[in-house]
A and B are shown apart, each in its own frame.
Chain A
Amino acid sequence: MENNISLTLKVWRQNGPKDKGRFETYKLDKVSTDSSFLEMMDILNEQLVNEGKEPVAFDHDCREGICGMCSLYINGRPHGPDDDVTTCQLHMRKFKDGETITIEPWRSAGFPVIKDLIVNRNAFDTIIAAGGYTSVSTGGVPDANAIPIPKVDADEAMDAASCIGCGACVATCKNGSAMLFVSAKVSHLALLPQGKVEAARRAKNMVAKMDELGFGNCTNTGACEVECPKGVSISNIARLNREFLKAKLAD
């Protein structure tokens, strides 16, 4: 049932990459529990604009959990207190009347803050550019049904491919590792005959790029899997390690 709740928000404000940043506290009344978390942020911003203040900058776009744009560390958890959702799918019914909510940006060496709650995730694109594709150009490819693919493999590839590139895995990892992200792409493509051809080379190049960009090492804490809004499994990391080892042995 719909209710209205009052909230205290502690929000990270930072003018730019070089600003030190600080928490600011805001009060919000009469927030409908049917609102999404980002609609609550809209209400806050409307209030700030009406007071002549600068609204809080935060990333968001599709607001249906698929574009991977929204981020936010909410009460110490990436994407907040609900499971298997992105911040845009989180609803205020998960919070209590009178609650204080702490809102921070992703905090990781790989993702520097741009402004307030917005971080720079270009590193993910750079890692994909290092090898996260099949090297085929447009045209001249075989018929789509030329190579049958076992349904289990196709389904497993789909599960790995459901990564939305939001960065929650990196943000939650105490080492700031991007292994879940990288392994999801390596798995997705290695599981399919079209991607298998370059699997070893891909694993090697993507891991090298990840290391170069300053992401930490994986120590198997499993935090990434818990916070992944799409339920991408850490078994992908095992597959990445296999592909990586094969590549190294072949060297």
Chain B
Amino acid sequence: MNLDSKIPQGPMAEKWSNYKANQKLVNPANKRKLDIIVVGTGLAGASAAASFGEMGFNVKNFTIQDSPRRAHSIAAQGGINAAKNYPNDGDSVHRLFYDTVKGGDYRAREANVHRLAEVSNDIIDQCVAQGVPFAREYGGLLDNRSFGGAQVSRTFYAKGQTGQQLLIGAYQALMRQVNAGTVDLYTRTEIVDIVMVDGKARGVIARDLVTGEFQRHFGHAVVLATGGYGNAFFLSTNAMGSNGSAAIKAYEKGAAFANPCFAQIHPTCIPVHGEFQSKLTLMSESLRNDGRIWVPKKKEDAEAIRAGKLKPTQIAEENRDYYLERRYPAFGNLVPRDVASRAAKERCDAGFGVGTTGLAVYLDFKSAIERLGEDAIRARYGNLFQMYEKIVDDNPYETPMMIYPAIHYTMGGIWVDYELQTTVPGLFAAGEANFSDHGANRLGASALMQGLADGYFVLPYTIQNYLADDISTPRMTGDEKEFVDAESEAKAKFEKLLAIKGNRSVDSIHKELGLVMWDFVGMARNKEGLEKAIERIAEIKKEFWSNVRIPGSGEGMNVELEKASRLADFITTGDLMARDALHREESCGGHFREEFQTEEGEAMRQDDQFAYAACWEYQGADKAPVMHKEDLTFEVVKVAQRNYK
């Protein structure tokens, strides 16, 4: 397996400029002859498809939803980082780069992260030109706020709906290209396989989710921007439709899957309420700017609260344990997500948790309301407070919110080189679907930045370097043997699923998988548990392929069939995550191995053994994958234990 990262020559700050100065380009007349398939319409997919269309390529863009605007990027609340340094508080490209590598616990590729920080400012300019209504000061200039893992205010935001506004900006740019005829949009259409011709990705097999019909699509290059695989856990903050199937198809065609065990557990989600819960709702990290996290200092108070005999507002100030402020005085409530999540779990495991289940901590706005007034808090977080109240039926202006960590984002993903190309030539991956920029832990407000960086400012350059060698490759019709065979294989898989006619619903098996993932591959992992998880996932796989029940047929819309085909891939993903977590005998970022912690319970990296990206190569349906390493070297950043104290 060729894991050449293709990092350009030169000093870190000049690599991207050097790359652009020396890369191959495609002239306008040739762009018209080239087709690009973009899968996904989130921030990365929509921005890439729109930009390719503007440049003159022919684009086919696919989404499983009824409209590109539904992509789950829309749910991001807090904001987007950029190194503008408008507040004059000491920010710079270098600092954003440094914070991101450090926040990722030194498991990301420096050159990619530096490029991300470089283009961050262009993103903000682009979005403002599109009419994204970012929050502004009275002077008419853009407002910034601070986020976890940073000591500067570099986060741009649009109320608590930043993801929505950025996605709508990208969606509008995309629809402009649809209108111009450069982008063909396929809604309610799912990619079920990638077509390989002579060792290169040359197209996809798609399934129309309304009619059930299969389609063959050719592209000179294929871009996957299909998001993360957090729904392997069943309960996560991801949307119900979010899935990792396209990434698994790429993996099965030979694309390396990197660092699958790096999943982010977000500290501030609304706690689980019952067995029929379908998803978990995130409360933006921005709330930690003004909210203070605590649990009772005395166990008996926590017990009384759990029994419904005591209210949080009745606990006196001196009997509250603001444990983040206590443990991490320098960053306090704004420590990175992995640190905040583990600290919440530690308190709850020790018996200080609140809520009926004991799996919750408080996020309290009392002192912020006293300091700034209720109106100021309403202006900042009004829609989040309303959302909380609708779900929990509690008024967070009067009583503290209850929160608990939940699976939120996956840093791992398809391995890509500096050009965002996978190990399969012609197959690219962008946004959350790739593994590139966040290492073992992503900082808040960096996902939106990465998605748009990849789509607006990286792929439009790097894909040309690939396509420049393809200008004489004629379009294929889709009737070639490779396309016909790929379609037959995909059809056969769906028929196999329908033929099982077992006794269990898709969801019941998915929930079983989710529990195994949460118990053994969740916030704290150990060797014994991970070995058990691999065993249990194999059993679930067997159960699925022999006992799943899918009513209806393959003709017309069949939601259970869609879910079943995605679950088959989540089972593969779950197995990969567990194997990766088992092999990585260290704690770093979102990956916490109980065997590797300091006396104070902090994560202990093993840099001498694990300073690499673990890249898994598919070997066949019932064979264990093989791991390859991309060694990480750090030229600029000084590798140290992360310290937020």
Dominant secondary structure of chain A at its interface with chain B: loop
Query: Which residues 35-70 in A have Cβ within 8 Å of B in the complex?
Result: 35-36, 38-39, 42-43, 46, 48-50, 52-55, 57, 59-69
When A62-B72, A158-B158 are in contact, do A142 and B276 touch as well, CB less than 8 Å?
A: no
- Chain B residues contacting A145 (CB-CB under 8 Å) are 84, 86, 141-142
Shortest distance from the beta carbon of B78 to any chain A beta carbon, whole Å: 13
B131 to chain A: which residues have CB within 8 Å?
133-134, 157, 188-189, 192, 194-195
| Closest residue of B by beta carbon distance from A33 | B393
Closest A residue, CB atoms, query B168: A161
A13 within 8 A of B: no
Contacts of B70 in A (CB 8 A): 61-62, 67-69
Give the shortest distance, in Å, between A66 (CB) and chain B (any CB).
5
Is B281 at the interface (CB under 8 A from chain A)? yes
Q: Mark B122-143, 1 if CB is under 8 A from A, else 0.
A: 1011111111011111111110
Point out the residues of chain A lying under 8 angstroms from B278, CB to CB.
Answer: 36, 38-39, 42, 63
Inter-subunit contact A129/B179 (CB<8 Å): yes
Write the A110-138 contact mask toward B (1 if CB under 8 angstroms, else 0): 00001100101110110011101111111
* Residues of the B chain whose Cβ atoms lie less than 8 Å from the Cβ of A148: 139-141
Residue B23 at the chain A interface, CB threshold 8 Å: no
Let me know if B505 is at the binding interface, CB within 8 A: yes
Give, as a whole number of angstroms, the nearest-CB distance from B281 to chain A.
Answer: 5
Q: How far is the CB of B208 from chain A (nearest CB, A)?
A: 11
A144 CB contacts on chain B under 8 angstroms: 84, 124-125, 127-128, 134, 142
Quick one: given A52-B551, A114-B210, A136-B130, are A67 and B72 in contact (CB under 8 Å)?
yes
A74-111 vs B, Cβ < 8 Å mask (1 yes, 0 no): 00000000101100010101000000000000000000
Decide if B633 is an interface residue (CB 8 Å cutoff). no
In the assembled complex, B75 has its CB within 8 A of some CB on chain A: yes
Q: Are B240 and A61 in contact (CB under 8 A)?
A: yes
Collect the chain B residues with CB atoms within 8 Å of residue A158's CB.
133, 135, 158-159, 165
Given A63-B239, A134-B131, do A16 and B126 touch, yes or no (CB 8 Å)? no
Whether B161 pairs with A59 at a CB distance below 8 angstroms is: no
A74 to B98, CA, bound (A): 51
Query: What string of 1s and 0s marks CB contacts (under 8 Å) between A136-178 and chain B?
Result: 1111011111001111001101100110110000000000000
Is B314 part of the binding interface, using a Cβ–Cβ cutoff of 8 Å?
A: no
Interface pick from B1-9, B555-563, B580-588, B637-645: B555-563
Any B CB within 8 A of the CB of A235: no
With known contacts A36-B278, A61-B72, A188-B133, A150–B140 Cβ distance under 8 A: yes
| CB within 8 Å of A: which B169-224 residues | 171-173, 175-176, 178-179, 185, 187, 210
- Pairs of residues from A and B, 6 with the lowest C-beta to C-beta distance, nearest first: A148-B140, A133-B172, A141-B129, A158-B133, A137-B54, A129-B179
Question: Can you add 5 more A-B contacts, CB < 8 Å, to A133-B172, A138-B126?
Answer: A62-B70, A64-B281, A67-B65, A122-B66, A137-B51
List the interface of chain A (C-beta within 8 A of B).
2, 15-16, 32, 34-36, 38-39, 42-43, 46, 48-50, 52-55, 57, 59-69, 82, 84-85, 89, 91, 93, 114-115, 118, 120-122, 124-125, 128-130, 132-139, 141-145, 148-151, 154-155, 157-158, 161-162, 164-165, 188-189, 192, 194-195
